[in-house]
Amino acid sequence: MDETNDKIAETVGLVNHLWLTSLSHAELQEQVQLNHVNHMWEHDRPYWYLWFNDCIGVYKMELQRATTTKGYDWIAEFTVKYYPSPTEPSFSGLSTLEKICRTSEMFHSLPSYGECGCPCNGLVHSEHQHKIPPEQSTGAPDVSFNEIIPPGFFYVGSLWIAFNSRSGSIIRLQSQTSWKTVIQKDFTLKDDAGEIITMLKKGDIDRDYPGFSICELLYRRAVKSWFFIHHYTFQNEFSRETDGYIFYSDGYSATAEPSSEVKKMHIQSELHCSMHDKLDPFSFEDSSMIMKIVHGERSKTVTAGQGTA
């Protein structure tokens, strides 16, 4: 196993431990409110679906990379997506095509109960109660449609975990108060048969998804569980707010422009076993990674609808 695969394996092992402990430990389960977790792989990329008792939708936490750097055993980068229920307020903030996708057969996925009668497939843990009946859709996309759904759909933010087995960890979240797309010119969205899906007008807001408020819930619960499983005793949290970006689409491509209307949010927790422990600062791809995911995939999203000006 090469070094990269070794770090991925270490990351996957600890993230599985993170969420399984959140399920099996009574006190932590009460605090984190995790109902169940599904660990899966897409080609060579691991991801986790997470269902919380007090949340209608489904989170997806997908590992993008795990690498070594000075001062840490490894640093892992995750993208976070949220699949809202059509009945919750955040659903209205999705783009036209995201809404169509979320209410289509792509999300008619049923729980996969194994021999233990548990939908947390791929993971072994003690018995616990689930909120998804066997006949009810899970709220997550069917795995057979993974390669059809554009990677930028349902994106809410990015999470980093920097782990040092001796001195502590840093968990960092980056998102925006809103992922907003404004239409620059009139165009029509059509399906594969040429039927009109909808007509969008210049100035329409086609997406206004509250990324940070959605992503912060997952971040805080991950921090709480990570703190618990590593027996840390000290936590320092830092936050920073800067101007964000609004995306402007002509139906075929999109451009990102800085704007004070939305805010880019940075928040991180430093977790230590001792107040004397010191963690090295680490660099990460700031907005460039988010621009690639949201801006780049936005172009594919509109094109997939066969937009015509």
**DSSP states of 171-229:** EEEEEES-EEEEE-S-EEEE-TTS-EEEEE-TT-EEEEE-HHHHHHHHHHHHHHHHHHH
Q: Rounded to an integer, what distance in angstroms lies between the CA atom of residue 16 and that of residue 36? A: 12
Predicted confidence (pLDDT) per residue in 105-128, tens digit: 999 877 654 444 444 444 444 444
Q: How far is CA 253 from CA 25, 153, 182, 271, in A?
A: 48, 15, 12, 41
Cα 155 off chain centre by: 6
The domains of the chain are located at 3-178+209-245+263-297
Confidence band of 290 (pLDDT split at 50, 70, 90)? low
Predicted confidence (pLDDT) per residue in 267-282, tens digit: 999 999 887 778 888 7
pTM, two decimal places: 0.86
pLDDT greater than 90 at residue 307: no
